[in-house]
Amino acid sequence: MAVSVKMSSKNQIVVPKAARLALGLEAGDRLVVTILDDRIEMEKQPADLEDRLEGTLRGVAAEGALWEELTDE
């Protein structure tokens, strides 16, 4: 698939809908950009553990054994 996109005055591009659907991209996903000679390749970056866990402990008390285990205190 090849699609033309235009860079904005803020040096941003929009990933076309067809590409987002094909790669399963969602808001907040990260892309790896690789420069190869005179072209750019982008691929979806797998979520790391920190990204996957972000917000999962929201609302958990910040004291006690769980907190100490997580913070090594």
- Is 22 in contact with 2 (CB distance < 8 Å)? no
Query: Three-state DSSP class for 26?
Result: coil
CA distances 23 to 29, 41, 52, Å, are 11, 13, 18
Question: What's the token pair of residue 25?
Answer: 């991209």
pLDDT of residue 2: 82
Q: What is the pLDDT of residue 47?
A: 72
The residue that leads in pLDDT, 32 or 46, is: 32
Ordered structural domains, the chain, with CATH? 1-53 (2.10.260.10)
**pLDDT tens column, 40-61:** 998 888 777 666 666 666 665 5
Tokens of residue 22, six digits:
């094909």
The phi and psi torsions of 42 (rounded to 5 degrees) equal -125, 140
